[in-house]
Amino acid sequence: MNQRSLIVVYLTALMAAVSLSKLEASDPDLVSDFFVPEGVNISTIDGNYFTFTGFRSGVPMESGKKFGISKATLATFPALTGLGVSYALLSYLPGGLNALHTHPRASEILYLISGTLEVGVIDSTNKLYSQTLSAGDLFVFPKGLVHYQINTDAKTTALAISGLSSAMPGVVSLGTNIFGSGISEGVLSKSFDVSTDVIKTLESAFATKSK
C-alpha cells in the first residue's frame, strides 16, 4: 500500500468514526463545571440557579383535559444546559391519555408515584410492549420509540415523574405531526392506503388539537 492509499484509508475510517459518534450523540458536554448564561458574572450564581420550583404546585390541568404535564427542561431551567438530563411531572385523571409520541433526543424513565398506569412502547419491528404499572414501579421508554400512557382506572388519578436523558428531549406527537403539518392529502391517502375522506377527518381532528 502506498502512502496515498494509506491516507485515503485513514481518512475514510476517521469519517466513519465521526459519523458514528454523531449517530450516538447525546447532549454536547460542557468544558466548564456548569453553564453560565451570557452576561452573568459567575460569582453571583448561588443555589437558586440550580433550583427549580416549578413543580411545587403540581401539574396545572387545563379545564376539560384529563392529562397534564409540567416540564423542567433547559427552556424553563437554564442550569440544565449541557447536563443531558431533564424531568417531566405527569398527571392523569381517570381516562387520561398521554397520546402516541416520541422523544427524538432522549430515553425516558418513568416512576409512577400514585395510582395505576397502563404504558406501551413500540419498537422498530412493530412489536408492542405494554404493562400496567403499580405505584412505585419504573418503566423505561428507549430513545426515539413511539410510546403512550393511559390511566384506565375509573376513580383514581395517577401521578408520575419522568427523567429524560436530554436537557431538551423534544416531543413528536404523532397525530399532529402527520395530520396537522400540512402534508398533501394525496401523499397521506397513498401513504396509509385510505380515501382522502378518511384523511380529511383525521386532519380536522388534529388541526384543532395542535393549537
Ligand X SMILES: *[C@@H]1O[C@H](CO)[C@@H](O)[C@H](O)[C@H]1NC(C)=O
**Least distance between ligand X and beta carbon 43 (Å):** 4
Distance CA 35, CA 78 (A): 8
- Which is closer to ligand X, CB of 43 or CB of 126? 43
Q: How far is the CB of 46 from ligand X (least distance, A)?
A: 13
Q: Which of 87, 14, 11 is nearest to 54 (CA)?
A: 87
3-state secondary structure of 200: helix
Q: Where are the alpha helices (DSSP H) in 162-195?
A: 174-179, 185-192
Measured from the CB atom, is 2 or 41 closer to ligand X? Answer: 41
Measured from the CB of residue 38, what is the shortest distance to ligand X in angstroms? 12
The site that binds ligand X (CB under 6 A) totals a number of residues, namely 2
Give every CB contact of residue 122 below 8 A, 6+ residues apart in sequence.
128, 129, 145, 146, 147
Integer angstrom CA distances of residue 190 from 194, 199, 206: 7, 10, 19
Q: How far is the CB of 36 from ligand X (least distance, A)?
A: 11
Question: Which residue lies nearer to ligand X by CB, 45 or 100?
Answer: 45
Q: By C-beta, is 45 or 83 nearer to ligand X?
A: 45
H helical segments located in the chain: 3-23, 174-179, 185-192, 196-209
42-81 footprint of ligand X as x/- string (CB under 6 A): -x--------------------------------------
Whichever of 32 and 43 has its CB closer to ligand X, that residue is 43
Residues 28 to 47: which contact ligand X by CB under 6 A? 41, 43
Q: Tell me the residue number closest to ligand X, measured at CB.
A: 41
The one-letter code for the residue type at 35 is F
Residues making contact with ligand X (CB under 6 A): 41, 43
